[in-house]
């Protein structure tokens, strides 16, 4: 499969990529999914509880991702482990180069690489990654059992992380730069009722300090919050660095594409969190994948 000219090469094995794979496979196209590494199915693997995917209330994110993957595998979808780092248009195909040196050729690309955790960019953050600074409460929360932690951010990720940590930690501070939270009002209300959670709003982190590991978070207003863990949940950035000059990106680096997945470049489609859209959720990623595969199939038919 890897050495043949593919109909569809999908970059990324999150919900968008796997949904695209299923639709492409069912359209009888030759399809391969390239993934950076297999560590669960993208970002959802980090979610303790996905409560808004229709028909699956309270589903663990990792389990939901595994169910998506098992579905794709059942249909015979194959995977290649590698990090795509450049795309070049040839007369009859796209040549995709991988960091490891491998090259794959495909008539179309569906790019579903998603987004990565944004960093705060404050002193101490990079130094203490893995020593008290984390970007995934579900992955690392257990290391802070019985300790004091801070979650930085005011979106759904930060709120969900705080709720998750409140079950494990002695105390959880939520540090948010504004008064109003961006995330769900229902979760905010739930957190206000949680005894060991303290919300510190209109507060901007200045520095993470420690010795071997993190001991405190300093705020710009001069306060020092003693914590062993700082969970940074301040949003995501699209993983589009290999796409400079390949397709149009918006000012924030997202691929400009509507729900059809069609980009500025013929034969190159985008789906999931990586494209311009209002709502980045599992349900919209899955929908994007289906649409992008359908667009790719229509493109291939037209090119015949």
Shortest spacing between CB 214 and ligand NAP, in angstroms: 17
Phi-psi region of 44 (alpha: psi -120 to 50; beta: other; left: phi over 0): alpha
Q: How far apart are CA 200 and CA 17, in angstroms?
A: 38
Question: Which helix or strand (DSSP H or E) is residue 16 part of?
Answer: helix 15-26
Strands 224-226 and 133-134: unpaired
CA nearest to 103, candidates 207, 226, 5, 247 = 5
C-beta of 11 vs 152, nearer to ligand NAP: 152
Contact residues: ligand NAP, CB under 6 A: 50, 52, 120, 152-158, 160, 177-178, 182-183, 233-236, 280-281
Shortest spacing between CB 60 and ligand NAP, in angstroms: 12
Residues involved in catalysis: 136, 139-140
Coil, strand or helix at 123? strand
CA nearest to 290, candidates 64, 73, 6, 16 = 16
Shortest spacing between CB 187 and ligand NAP, in angstroms: 9
Shortest spacing between CB 31 and ligand NAP, in angstroms: 27
Shortest spacing between CB 80 and ligand NAP, in angstroms: 28
Shortest spacing between CB 115 and ligand NAP, in angstroms: 8
Q: How far apart are CA 232 and CA 210, in angstroms?
A: 16
* Dihedral angle over CA of 120, 155, 280, 135, nearest 10: 40
C-beta of 202 vs 264, nearer to ligand NAP: 202
Strands 229-232 and 133-134: parallel
Position of minimal CB gap to ligand NAP? 155
C-beta of 235 vs 267, nearer to ligand NAP: 235
Q: How far apart are CA 284 and CA 30, in angstroms?
A: 24
Shortest spacing between CB 121 and ligand NAP, in angstroms: 7
Coil, strand or helix at 126? coil
C-beta of 51 vs 127, nearer to ligand NAP: 51
The DSSP code sequence of 227-292 is -SEEEE---EEE--GGGTTTS-B-TTS-B---TT-B-SSTTEEE-GGGBS-S--SHHHHHHHHHHH
C-beta of 34 vs 151, nearer to ligand NAP: 151
Coil, strand or helix at 185? helix
C-beta of 236 vs 243, nearer to ligand NAP: 236
C-beta of 95 vs 223, nearer to ligand NAP: 223
58 secondary structure, DSSP code: T
């Amino acid at each position: 499969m890897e050495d043949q000219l593919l109909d569809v090469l999908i970059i990324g094995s999150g919900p968008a990529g796997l949904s695209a794979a299923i639709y492409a496979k069912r359209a009888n196209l030759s399809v391969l999914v390239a993934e950076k590494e297999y560590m669960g199915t993208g970002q959802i693997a980090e979610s303790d509880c996905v409560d808004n995917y229709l028909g699956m209330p309270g589903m663990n994110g990792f389990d939901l991702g595994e169910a998506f993957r098992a579905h794709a595998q059942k249909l015979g979808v194959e995977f290649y482990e590698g990090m795509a780092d450049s795309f070049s248009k040839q007369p009859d195909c796209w040549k995709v180069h991988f960091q490891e040196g491998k090259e794959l050729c495909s008539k179309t690309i569906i790019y579903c690489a998603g987004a990565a955790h944004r960093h705060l960019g404050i002193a101490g953050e990079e130094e203490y990654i893995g020593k008290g600074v984390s970007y995934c409460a579900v992955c690392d929360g257990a290391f802070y059992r019985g300790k004091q932690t801070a979650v930085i951010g005011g979106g759904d990720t930060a709120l969900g992380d705080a709720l998750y940590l409140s079950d494990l930690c002695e105390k959880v501070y939520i540090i948010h730069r504004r008064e109003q939270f961006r995330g769900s009002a229902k979760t905010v209300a739930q957190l206000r009722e949680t005894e060991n959670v303290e919300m510190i709003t209109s507060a901007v982190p200045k520095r993470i300090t420690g010795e071997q590991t993190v001991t405190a978070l300093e705020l710009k207003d001069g306060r020092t919050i003693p914590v062993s863990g700082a969970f940074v949940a301040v949003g995501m950035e699209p993983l589009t660095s290999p796409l400079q000059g390949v397709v149009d990106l918006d000012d924030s680096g997202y691929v400009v594409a509507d729900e059809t997945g069609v980009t500025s470049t013929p034969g190159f489609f985008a789906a999931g969190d990586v494209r311009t859209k209002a709502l980045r959720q599992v349900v919209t990623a899955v929908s994007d994948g289906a649409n992008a595969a359908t667009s790719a199939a229509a493109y291939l038919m037209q090119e015949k």
